[in-house]
Amino acid sequence: MLAVATGAVFAQSAGKIEMKYAVVYPPVGAQAEGAAELGKLISEASGGRVAMKFYPSSQLGTQLGQLEGLRAGTIEMSECAASDLSNFDKIWSVFSLPFTFDNGEHAIRAVNSPAAAKILNESAEAAGFKILGWWNMGERSVLNSKRPIRTPSDLKGVKIRVMLDPILANSISAMGAIGTPMAWGEVYSAVQQGVIDGLENSPPVITANKMQEVAKFYSLTQQFVIPDPILMSKKVYDGLPPDLQQAMMKAGKASQESFNKNFGKYVEKSLVDLKATGVKVNEVDKTAFRTAVKPMVDDFLKKADDRSRVLYTALTSVK
């Protein structure tokens, strides 16, 4: 074991500090390739002093369990949807509101704007996380096993999995479906067994997790645009010497730039792959969905605390 700086203790292998990077997604696909590149960038920025060890497919627990590990310092790094952090500070539920951003690129501009970044960084650090960068995870649409979805009425009675934030469930229910919170690792089998009828996510995530094997209708509702922060344990980060702190931030920013530059190619390829496996992809009446969820969004903002409203304004003021 290697003691560094303020007394934090890290695993050591061949003289390198090892950092566990725990995620729920599989070892293939856009995110896995992004993780592999992130590991290389960390090694380069640290002069080979830090090595990232990849733990995909929920090997180190559920998403919430991994985040608790970061807070405790037992897991060094992770990546999650911004909405997942609502478990630690309710202002992150703003990311669970539908149609907040035009697309993934818009979301990345917004979270990196000075006003929003200040709020998000302060909130994350207070909860025990250090944000190293942001990944564009695209626009999330509805995949289901029942029928094509074109208007809110088509979603009546359809059970759609959402992440573990009640605002997401409320949003999907406002669109006409039955929003069903569920851990990601349970979704494939739940659709396969008919416990739920489908899910919502971006094309690269769907294909990487082979969800097209259990559901054949993908409707481009694009209701959620939720970027993923690359996170490091604040406790671990604070235990690093300043030069390695700078190296981790440098690697995170380089990863953000590289991953986001190439994400569109993953979306295009994934849509081709979905169609090749027999998935029916269709456009929707997006205006009808926006109209259906507006009362829910208005109600959220009316009841939200001042911090949440300030964050929403900071994000949506960016064009």
Average pLDDT score over residue span 240-266 = 97
Has residue 230 got a pLDDT over 50?
yes
pLDDT category at 11 given cuts 50, 70, 90 is: low
Amino acid in position 59: Q
What pLDDT does 16 receive? 87
Q: Look up the pTM and report it.
A: 0.93
CA-based nearest residue to 180, from 190, 289, 283, 211: 190
Has residue 9 got a pLDDT over 70?
no
| Domain 140-225+275-316 annotated CATH 2.60.40.10 | no
| Distance between CA atoms of residues 61 and 39, nearest Å | 21
| Distance between CA atoms of residues 183 and 104, nearest Å | 23
Contacts of 246 (CB under 8 A, 6+ apart): none
What pLDDT does 12 receive? 57
What pLDDT does 10 receive? 57
From the number of C-beta atoms within 10 Å of its C-beta (0-12, 13-18, 19+), residue 278 rates as exposed
- Torsion 231-257-209-168 (CA) sign: positive
CA 31, chain centre distance (Å): 10
Average pLDDT score over residue span 134-160 = 98
Write the Ramachandran bin of 128: left for phi over 0, alpha for psi from -120 to 50, otherwise beta: left
Average pLDDT score over residue span 32-38 = 98
pLDDT category at 1 given cuts 50, 70, 90 is: very low
**CATH 3.40.190.170 in the chain, residues?**
2-89+108-136+227-268, 140-225+275-316
Has residue 5 got a pLDDT over 90?
no
In this structure, the number of other CB atoms found within 10 A of the CB of residue 209 comes to 22
Mean pLDDT, rounded, of the chain: 95
What pLDDT does 4 receive? 44
Average pLDDT score over residue span 181-195 = 97
Has residue 14 got a pLDDT over 70?
no
% of the chain residues with pLDDT over 90: 95
Has residue 119 got a pLDDT over 60?
yes
Residue by residue, DSSP assigns 93-137 as GGGGSTT-SSSHHHHHHHHTSHHHHHHHHHHHHHHTEEEEEEE--
Has residue 218 got a pLDDT over 50?
yes
- Which one is predicted more confidently, 93 or 2? 93
What pLDDT does 13 receive? 54
**Residue position matching structure tokens 């659709």:** 191
pLDDT category at 146 given cuts 50, 70, 90 is: very high
- Which one is predicted more confidently, 5 or 76? 76
Contacts of 212 (CB under 8 A, 6+ apart): 143, 206, 218, 273, 274, 277, 278, 279
What pLDDT does 61 receive? 96
| Distance between CA atoms of residues 160 and 146, nearest Å | 11
Average pLDDT score over residue span 128-156 = 98
% of the chain residues with pLDDT over 70: 95
| Distance between CA atoms of residues 219 and 3, nearest Å | 52
Q: What kind of fold does domain 2-89+108-136+227-268 have according to CATH? A: D-Maltodextrin-Binding Protein; domain 2 (3.40.190)
Has residue 58 got a pLDDT over 70?
yes
Average pLDDT score over residue span 216-228 = 98
* Partners of 229 in the β-ladder: 134
Tokens of 128: 């025990």
Q: Residue 257: enclosing H or E segment and its boundaries? A: helix 242-276
What pLDDT does 133 receive? 98
